[in-house]
Amino acid sequence: MDEAVVQDLYDSCTGLGDYHKVEQGKLKYLYRQKDECLNSLRDLHGALQQDSPETGYIIRHKLGEWKVVSQRIIPLFISYHKEPEVATGVVKLLLLLTTRVGLYGAEELEHLRHLQDYKEAFSKSDVFAILVRLLLDAMEEELELIGSSSRKS
């Protein structure tokens, strides 16, 4: 993989934000700027969509190697799940990253290790509770729309 491509990928990951010390030395996840964060989510999504067997799924490999899901994506989601653009971008990214791809041999074992890391990251956080809340909220909005449109008829 070209060094410039790796650097672009790394820059997209750092654009998601990071932990910073705030009030009384507590660590809090903050994204740098909303626009930069959203652009980074889009860039990562685009890179993952282009990741293929021909490239050896190198993008997935690098993101797994850098532990981007546990160190950046999940903390971003937990901290900013109430911002629809961020939540949607993160869910799309997680969907691509957690999908098993057709690798064989040593590459498959490494991919499975990354998937296991993702599973552990999910289990150590409030991600599932947040996802369920987002789904319930979406369903409630849908029911309200159906109810209001039937009242107008």
How confident is the model over 41-76, as pLDDT tens digits? 999 999 999 999 888 899 999 999 999 999 999 989
Question: At residue 9, what are phi and psi to the nearest 5 degrees?
Answer: -65, -45
Question: Residue 132 has what pLDDT?
Answer: 92
Assess contact for 122 and 74: CB atoms under 8 A. Answer: yes
Mean pLDDT of 99-108: 85
Mean pLDDT of 77-96: 93
Task: Give me the helices (H) in 66-105, please.
Answer: 68, 74-80, 84-97
Ranges of each domain in the chain: 3-152
pLDDT-derived band at 32 (thresholds 50, 70, 90) equals low
pLDDT-derived band at 153 (thresholds 50, 70, 90) equals low
Query: Reduced to 3 DSSP states, what percent helix, strand and coil does the chain have, rounded to the nearest 5?
Result: 75, 5, 20
Question: Residue 68 has what pLDDT?
Answer: 96
Question: Residue 18 has what pLDDT?
Answer: 81
Mean pLDDT of 25-36: 75
Question: Residue 10 has what pLDDT?
Answer: 95
Give bridge partners of residue 22 from the DSSP assignment: 26
Mean pLDDT of the chain: 88
